[in-house]
Amino acid sequence: MANYDSPDGFKPVSFPARTNVYECSATVTKGDALAIASGKVLPYVAASHSAVIGVAAESGVNGDEIQVFDDPLTEFSAQCSGTFAATLIGTAVDIEGTTGAMEVDEAGGTNSICVILGHYPLPGADEIGLNSRVKVVLSGHATLA
């Protein structure tokens, strides 16, 4: 059975997953990878940002204060935008998509924002291949730069 195609951002899979409060400068959806500019968070965009501060633990809009998973050691699960293969384990890749639908770009490494740690099977998405779920760590974290 093929994996379902349902990009829904990043979910923490290592615990405890530490959070801190940040103010939003744009609309943010739970699970979005976030960049930081002028002390405020906004959705990460590969063409505009070179680092992430973490992942939104809740949704918010401009001016809201939200919880953000910002520990650089937190591991997350997310869907690949294309086809995952076991040979990609250990590869630094990028993130793509828009707020509410961010995915691991297993074919890209413009900013090398995350490292694929392995396959992360879930019911309905348990096969290696197209739209696989993977476990990643944010190697392009702003505190590691």
The mean-pLDDT minimum among 19-23, 108-112, 115-119, 127-131 falls in 108-112
76's tokens: 């997350």
Same domain, 22 and 65: yes
H-helix segments, the chain = none
Q: Which of 39, 36, 117, 129 is nearest to 82 (CA)?
A: 129
pLDDT of residue 1: 63
Q: Is there a contact between 68 and 22 (Cβ–Cβ < 8 Å)?
A: yes
**Helix, strand, coil percent content, the chain, rounded in steps of 5:** 5, 40, 55
pLDDT at 48 over 70: yes
For residue 65, the SS3 value is strand
Same domain, 98 and 126: yes
Residue 120: domain span: 75-144
| Residue 6 falls inside a structural domain | no
pLDDT at 60 over 90: yes
Averaged pLDDT, 15-19: 91
**pLDDT tens digits for 74-122?**
999 999 999 999 999 999 999 999 999 999 999 877 889 999 999 998 8
Q: Which long-range contacts (CB under 8 A, 24 or more apart) does 105-109 make?
A: 105/46, 105/81, 106/80, 106/81, 106/82, 106/134, 107/81, 107/82, 108/46
Same domain, 55 and 86: no
Q: Which of 28, 49, 69 is the last residue of a domain?
A: 69
pLDDT of residue 122: 80
**Integer angstrom CA distances of residue 138 from 1, 3, 4, 45, 59:** 30, 24, 24, 14, 20
- Label residue 145 by pLDDT band (50, 70, 90): low
pLDDT at 142 over 90: no
pLDDT at 18 over 90: yes
Same domain, 80 and 42: no
Q: What angle do CA 11, 113, 89 make, to 5 degrees?
A: 75
0.85 surpassed by pTM: yes
Same domain, 80 and 103: yes
Higher pLDDT, 59 or 2: 59
Beta bridge partners of 104: 80, 95
| Residue 1 falls inside a structural domain | no
**DSSP annotation of 28:** B
